[in-house]
Amino acid sequence: MMTGTGCWCGTLLLLLHIADSERFEVLGSTRAIVAVAGDDIILPCYIKPNISAEDMRVDWFRINLPDPQSNIRVHLYQDGIDKYHDQVLSYRGRTSLFKEELKKGNTSLKLTRVQGTDDGRYKCLVESKTHYDDATIQVYVRAVGSKPEVSIEGQKEGGMALLCVSKGWFPEPELEWLDSEGVTLSAGPSETDRDYEGFYIVKLKIPVNETDNLFTCRLRQRQQHEVIKMETEFHFPSEPILVHTDTWKVALAVIGSLGFFLMVILAFTIWRWNALCKVYDASRAEHSQELEQVKDELRLELEKNLNTKLKMLADQLDLVNMKGCPELETIRKHAVDVTLDPDTAHHYSCVPE
């Protein structure tokens, strides 16, 4: 018969056995993942031993350096479903787990349409009711942007400058100006900005040197195992002010031509409108005359019909008087004059004197 102490020991051993059976290790990639902007990538993460993670919590974060306490949630799987209530907006619609692989312990994350903001360290946290573990994966994003573009700013009297701009890079590239001898010119720090996908836009301006008319804007981007270089040469005209003046002349001629063309179109539109109005008025007057003519014809026809009806009624009345009532003719033949005596007539009778 088992004593109370033995019962407690057995229960404790059973609990330790259950807890030990649910212990697992989360493994990720030991090598950094290099992702090209616009591509789809997989962040590997799986459980060892290969037990099912369908009933576990799988939480993916991007570690926010230098403050790891404010990590960014990338994807959350809990209670058998994906939950997006606090997912960062930039990852919305771009993350997914391999649901059929969860029962095999595969908790890897698929990230589509890689952009500049995806660069960084990611943490895969897997948690059961009694145990949890995590793994970290490094992601490097690479994007090759546009060739540097050079433009002129300002005027010769006020100080002219050359501006070099390049867009769509990750990581951030470097810009520098070179003179005709290949010597780096002092232009100060470049201006840096980022678009909504996190790609870099860099600008560098330099004042024009009157003694030189050939300049080169060079871009350099350092990646893990290589350096990308791009250059754009600019031949500055010997008489920039004349080019500037001629440009204004051409622009003025174009504006004048456009203005004349617009005036011709406006005049034609007004003439066409007036012509349409005249046609409309003439058509309206013609229809008005036709309407009056129809009204007169109807009036004559009505009068004609009315006179015919009246004549027919008069003929019928004469026929009744002459033939339709013989007694009336007899009365007319025996008609006599009647005279009332004023003294003996009824007092309501009106007797002519």
For residue 342, is the peptide bond before it cis, meaning its omega torsion is within 30 degrees of 0? Answer: no
Q: What is the dihedral of CA 52, 58, 62, 64, to 10 degrees?
A: -130
**Angstrom distance (rounded) from CA 60 to CA 83:** 12
Q: What is the pLDDT of residue 177?
A: 94
Whether domain 149-236 has CATH 3.20.20.60: the reply is no
First to last CA, the chain: 160
Q: Which candidate, 97, 136, 131, 100, places its Cα nearest to that of 120?
A: 136
Residue 134, Cβ neighbours under 10 Å: how many?
15
- What residues are paired with 176 via a beta bridge? 218
**Angstrom distance (rounded) from CA 299 to CA 95:** 86
Provide the edge-to-edge strand list for the sheet that holds 161-169: 149-153, 161-169, 200-207, 191-194
> Average pLDDT for consecutive 10-residue bins of the chain (353 residues)?
50 45 86 95 95 96 79 95 94 96 96 96 95 96 95 72 94 93 87 94 87 88 87 76 48 72 79 74 71 74 73 65 56 60 58 51
Q: Which candidate, 169, 149, 180, places its Cα nearest to that of 220?
A: 169
Q: Which two tokens stand for residue 184?
A: 């780096």
For residues 125 and 132, the answer to whether their CB atoms sit within 8 Å is yes
How many CA atoms within 13 Å lie on the side-chain side of 99?
9
**Angstrom distance (rounded) from CA 254 to CA 216:** 33
Q: What is the pLDDT of residue 17?
A: 42
Domain residue spans of the chain: 20-142, 149-236, 242-332
Q: What is the pLDDT of residue 335?
A: 59
Which residue, chain included where needed, has tokens 């031509």? 257
3-state secondary structure the chain: CCCHHHHHHHHHHHHHHHHHHCCCEEEECCCCEEEECCCCEEECEEEECCCCCCCCEEEEEEECCCCHHHCEEEEEEECCEEECCCCCHHHCCCEEECHHHHHHCECCEEECCCCHHHCEEEEEEEECCCCEEEEEEEEEEEECCCCCEEEEECCCCCCCEEEEEEEEEECCCEEEEECCCCCEECCCCCEEEECCCCCEEEEEEEECCCCCCEEEEEEEEECCCCEEEEEEEEECCCCHHHHHHHHHHHHHHHHHHHHHHHHHHHHHHHHHHHHHHHHHHHHHHHHHHHHHHHHHHHHHHHHHHHHHHHHHHHHHHHHHHHHHCHHHHHHHHCCCCCCCCCCCCCCCCCCCC
Residue 219, Cβ neighbours under 10 Å: how many?
23
For residues 139 and 132, the answer to whether their CB atoms sit within 8 Å is no
- Please indicate whether the domains covering 20-142 and 149-236 agree at the CATH topology level: yes
**Angstrom distance (rounded) from CA 136 to CA 62:** 9
Taken as a whole, the chain contains a residue count of 353
Q: What angle do CA 120, 70, 32 make, to 5 degrees?
A: 20
Q: What is the CATH number of domain 20-142?
A: 2.60.40.10
